[in-house]
A and B are shown apart, each in its own frame.
Chain A
Amino acid sequence: MSISRRDFLRGAATTGVVSLCGSNALASETHTGNPDRYGVLVDLSLCSGCRTCEAACYEENKNRDTNRRTDNEHEGNLPPPRVPFDDLSVTATRRRPSGGVYTVVNRYQAQGATGQDRNVYRKLQCFHCDEPACASACFVSALTKTKEGAVVYNPNVCVGCRYCMTACPFSIPGYEYDNPLTPRVKKCTFCYHRTSVGRPPACVEACPYGVMTFGKRSDLVRFANEKILAHPERYVHQIYGENEVGGTAWMYLSPVAFDQVGFRTDLGTTPYPELTRGFLSIVPPVLVLWGPALMGVYAFTQRKEKLAEREKRDAVGTAVASAVAAAEQKAAKQFEAAMKKADKERELAVKKAVEETKKATAEQEAK
């Protein structure tokens, strides 16, 4: 087999380097997370759609791009609102968080428990998942789950591929599509500059009706269950976000079925990073085994070709040998025949000469 040393070393070295990168993928095992991480419980039965939280979010973040513990001055981080925050009619439209808006409150017409129509308002923002799909998807780790619970974004490494937006089950992250040079992924930061020091986010603090409660996530789950137990007729008996996609920091209680207030109820409880674990686990085996397998195929092919060459040479050799033998035989036969012929002619010539001599002698004697 004629693989050069150079080829082999090149293949082995590169395989080694790249498989090191691949094997790290398995290192991100499911973890229980920081048990003291924060969360927010949103009680939709109390929300009246006043949009104070939207205004507070804008005021808090309009010149601040929170991605680390320290405040990050950023003039014009959020554009001014197109419609003033005291215009409540917009809650009837289907707004969503976007490249310029971290949170929205929308109105839903729902059927109450006793069948009556009622309006339910829902605040929507990043859910800050315990095992975020966006962080798993990001190929430069621009999105990370902090130990305090916030999923924060680092614009200094983001390439703008927008895979995080594809991956998010809630379709939350927005993008600054009209920014040619410094476009960023934008989403609620959980006011990390506040929550990292234990202060509640701006929206929670500003809400006049106490719709939101900030605290340790584990405490909030207990608190929510207590609320349901205390007023079972007031709530659907489920905490949305407790288990969805593996659990989220922002959780909800609702007076009506969750799918009536714009929540997807078909997301399942599997954390999203689990979904690619199976595929990523085949990477090291392929990297390490394909090489030898293909070199084996190559060796087989080379050997097959060598044997075919040898067979051909043998066949040619045999053919040549038998042709030579046949030619030699033919030549020998021809030689024999020629010798016989020459003998015969000699005999005849001798006979003729003898006869002529006899004749001549006879004529001589007759004279």
Chain B
Amino acid sequence: MTPFNVVAAAILAVGIPITFIRFTQGLASATNLSDRTPWGFWIGFDVMSGVALAAGGYVTASAVYLFGMKKFHGVVRPAILTGFLGYFLVVVGLCYDLGRPWRLPYPMVVSFGVTSVLFLVGWHVALYLTTQFVEFSPAIFEWLGWKEVRRVASMLTVGATVFGVILSTLHQSALGALFLLAPAKVHPLWYSPYIPIFFFVSSIIAGLSMVIFESSLSHRVFADQIDPEHAGEHDEITLGLAKGAAVVLYGYFAFKVIGIAHGNDWNLLNTGYGHWFLAEILGFILLPCILFTTAVRQQNATLARWTALLTVVGIVLNRLNVSVIAFNWQLPAEERYFPSWMEIAVSVFIVTVGLLTFRWIVERMPVLWEHPDFKDVQ
């Protein structure tokens, strides 16, 4: 019984009863959602942040398979697994939030609302989940020893990677575009016609940072599983990803400033929400940018890892800002939403289930090490 297992068991012991309550008694029994605030923590964290953080799959796969950056080959499979599990957990979290989750396939097969950005999101998440599964399947088939099936699955990798980038471009930006329909509810510093681009660019940053973060954790927790040659490259890979993240963060920060200029919102920066906005872009976009740059120059992989964690927190903060914190900013304090402890408990529960699933897979399938029978590399 390791400490992690004890804590995980406790979280499961709380999460399972809450799940039961939510589904037998309705959303009101487990959440603080209201008519003024229909979307809360489960949408802001599980769906919005979850999708952004699972972007490491398409970013890493395209770097390795399309742009030929073979250096990162060691982290492709863990990144795709994180991506696949991430999206799967997004769907799980969404099922808690939907009024009738069993109707989730409806926009695919029953009734089509083609004017809706959410229609796009729904289709793309479903297709992308499938694509990530295809990209990960060679690992499963290697584990099962199905050589022929594995060979076929491998041939689909490049096509699946291309498709994954197309889908990700659209649905990452679409999640931001959802809020284009709420100009009167999202604070002007966060509301912009550029929200879709903000969300897409920050998903790349989120993906790169999550891969650094996940590989650091795996390196420590699963040290006995990792191929010795990959173990040796770990710092080099971390710094390579950090370099990419720094470059994109510069672009993102500059674009955020352009966004303020576009909306002519300079005077808003000196309000309460303005200060909060500055905290987000200075502390969680500009600062990680500077730290990543420093880490790369000094070849300091440890600094890069801590910065990756800071960046991940910043992405979550941004998604929560747009969907929950800066949403309904005009409402008086007593009408503002704050998540119930059960909403937070369910989110923690879902993340824990994700970690346990990741561990189960990684301990059995060739994710952190290469299967000796399949040493050929795509």
B117:A279 contact, CB within 8 angstroms: yes
Distance, CA A70 to CA B107, complexed state (A): 26
Query: Quick one: closest B residue to A3, CB to CB?
Result: B158
Q: How far is the CB of A89 from chain B (nearest CB, A)?
A: 20
Q: Which of B28, B116, B166, B180 contacts A286 (CB 8 A)?
A: B166
Residues of A within 8 A of B106 (CB): 140, 157, 159
Q: Which of B36, B107, B115, B158 contacts A25 (CB 8 A)?
A: B115
A159:B182 contact, CB within 8 angstroms: no
Q: Which of B98, B99, B115, B155 contacts A136 (CB 8 A)?
A: B115
Give the contacts of A258-308 with B (CB-CB under 8 A). Answer: 264, 266-268, 272-273, 275-276, 278-280, 283, 286-287, 290-291, 294-295, 297-298, 301-302, 304-305
Query: Quick one: closest B residue to A6, CB to CB?
Result: B155
Query: Quick one: closest A residue to B331, CB to CB?
Result: A171
Known: A142-B111, A279-B117, A290-B169. A159 touches B156 (CB 8 A): no
Interface centre among A141, A166, A176 (most CB of B within 10 A): A166
B114:A177 contact, CB within 8 angstroms: no
Whether B306 sits at the interface, judged by CB under 8 Å, is no
A18:B29 contact, CB within 8 angstroms: no
B173:A279 contact, CB within 8 angstroms: yes
A159:B98 contact, CB within 8 angstroms: yes
Query: Quick one: closest B residue to A280, CB to CB?
Result: B117
B36:A294 contact, CB within 8 angstroms: no
Distance, CA A344 to CA B143, complexed state (A): 72
A178:B184 contact, CB within 8 angstroms: no
What 0/1 pattern do residues 93 to 133 of B give for CB contact below 8 A with A?
00001111101101100111111111111110001000000
Query: Quick one: closest B residue to A99, CB to CB?
Result: B35
B180:A294 contact, CB within 8 angstroms: no
Query: Quick one: closest B residue to A288, CB to CB?
Result: B166
Q: How far is the CB of A183 from chain B (nearest CB, A)?
A: 4
A22:B120 contact, CB within 8 angstroms: yes
Give the contacts of B238-297 with A (CB-CB under 8 A). Answer: none
Give the contacts of A154-170 with B (CB-CB under 8 A). Answer: 157-163, 165-167, 169
Q: Which one, B11-19, B61-69, B82-90, B340-348, is touching chain A? A: B61-69
B67:A180 contact, CB within 8 angstroms: no
Whether A189 sits at the interface, judged by CB under 8 Å, is no
Q: How far is the CB of A329 from chain B (nearest CB, A)?
A: 39
Whether B317 sits at the interface, judged by CB under 8 Å, is no
Known: A160-B99, A167-B181. A286 touches B27 (CB 8 A): no
B116:A137 contact, CB within 8 angstroms: yes
Known: A139-B118, A140-B111, A290-B169. A166 touches B159 (CB 8 A): no
B162:A139 contact, CB within 8 angstroms: no
A159:B104 contact, CB within 8 angstroms: yes
A183:B99 contact, CB within 8 angstroms: yes
Distance, CA A57 to CA B335, complexed state (A): 26
B26:A139 contact, CB within 8 angstroms: no
Known: A137-B118, A287-B170. A4 touches B155 (CB 8 A): yes
Residues of B within 8 A of A267 (CB): 184
Known: A140-B106, A178-B28, A297-B66. A161 touches B118 (CB 8 A): yes
Known: A22-B120, A138-B113, A140-B106. A279 touches B181 (CB 8 A): no
B26:A179 contact, CB within 8 angstroms: yes
Distance, CA A169 to CA B182, complexed state (A): 7
B113:A141 contact, CB within 8 angstroms: yes
Whether A8 sits at the interface, judged by CB under 8 Å, is yes
Q: Which of B29, B35, B162, B183 contacts A294 (CB 8 A)?
A: B162
B114:A28 contact, CB within 8 angstroms: yes
A-B pairs with beta carbons under 8 A, tally: 206
B39:A298 contact, CB within 8 angstroms: no
Distance, CA A278 to CA B122, complexed state (A): 19
What 0/1 pattern do residues 89 to 111 of A give for CB contact below 8 A with B?
00000001111000000000000
Q: Which of A169, A174, A287 contacts B35 (CB 8 A)?
A: A174
Whether B146 sits at the interface, judged by CB under 8 Å, is no
Whether B165 sits at the interface, judged by CB under 8 Å, is yes
Distance, CA A97 to CA B36, complexed state (A): 10
Distance, CA A298 to CA B155, complexed state (A): 14
Whether B339 sits at the interface, judged by CB under 8 Å, is no
Q: Which of A11, A28, A280 contacts B159 (CB 8 A)?
A: A11
B119:A139 contact, CB within 8 angstroms: yes
A140:B112 contact, CB within 8 angstroms: yes
Distance, CA A184 to CA B27, complexed state (A): 12
Q: How far is the CB of B241 from chain A (nearest CB, A)?
A: 19
A275:B180 contact, CB within 8 angstroms: yes
Residues of A within 8 A of B170 (CB): 283, 286-287
Whether A152 sits at the interface, judged by CB under 8 Å, is no
Whether B366 sits at the interface, judged by CB under 8 Å, is no
A140:B113 contact, CB within 8 angstroms: yes
Query: Quick one: closest A residue to B112, CB to CB?
Result: A141
Residues of B within 8 A of A137 (CB): 113, 116-118, 181
Whether A218 sits at the interface, judged by CB under 8 Å, is no
Residues of B within 8 A of A85 (CB): none
Q: How far is the CB of A168 from chain B (nearest CB, A)?
A: 9
A166:B181 contact, CB within 8 angstroms: yes
Whether A21 sits at the interface, judged by CB under 8 Å, is yes
Q: Which of B103, B112, B120, B122 contacts A280 (CB 8 A)?
A: B120
Known: A266-B184, A275-B180, A280-B117. A160 touches B98 (CB 8 A): yes
Residues of A within 8 A of B99 (CB): 158-162, 175-176, 183-184
Whether B174 sits at the interface, judged by CB under 8 Å, is yes
Give the contacts of A28-64 with B (CB-CB under 8 A). Answer: 28
A8:B118 contact, CB within 8 angstroms: no
Q: Which of B34, B158, B178 contacts A298 (CB 8 A)?
A: B158
Query: Quick one: closest B residue to A144, CB to CB?
Result: B113
A276:B111 contact, CB within 8 angstroms: no
A290:B117 contact, CB within 8 angstroms: no
Known: A3-B159, A272-B181. A159 touches B107 (CB 8 A): yes
Distance, CA A179 to CA B62, complexed state (A): 45
Whether A10 sits at the interface, judged by CB under 8 Å, is yes
B159:A275 contact, CB within 8 angstroms: no
Q: List 26 A-B contacts (CB under 8 A).
A: A6-B156, A7-B155, A98-B35, A136-B116, A136-B181, A140-B113, A157-B111, A159-B98, A159-B99, A160-B99, A166-B181, A166-B182, A174-B35, A175-B33, A175-B35, A178-B26, A178-B29, A275-B180, A278-B193, A279-B117, A279-B177, A279-B196, A283-B170, A290-B162, A294-B166, A301-B67
The 10 A-B residue pairs with the shortest CB-CB distance in the complex, in nearest-first order: A160-B99, A7-B159, A301-B68, A162-B38, A165-B38, A177-B28, A139-B119, A180-B26, A139-B118, A183-B99
- Please name 11 further chain A to chain B contacts, defined as beta carbons within 8 Å, in addition to the given A24-B114, A137-B116, A279-B117, sorted by A numbering: A3-B159, A14-B163, A96-B35, A96-B36, A159-B107, A177-B26, A177-B33, A183-B99, A291-B163, A298-B65, A304-B68
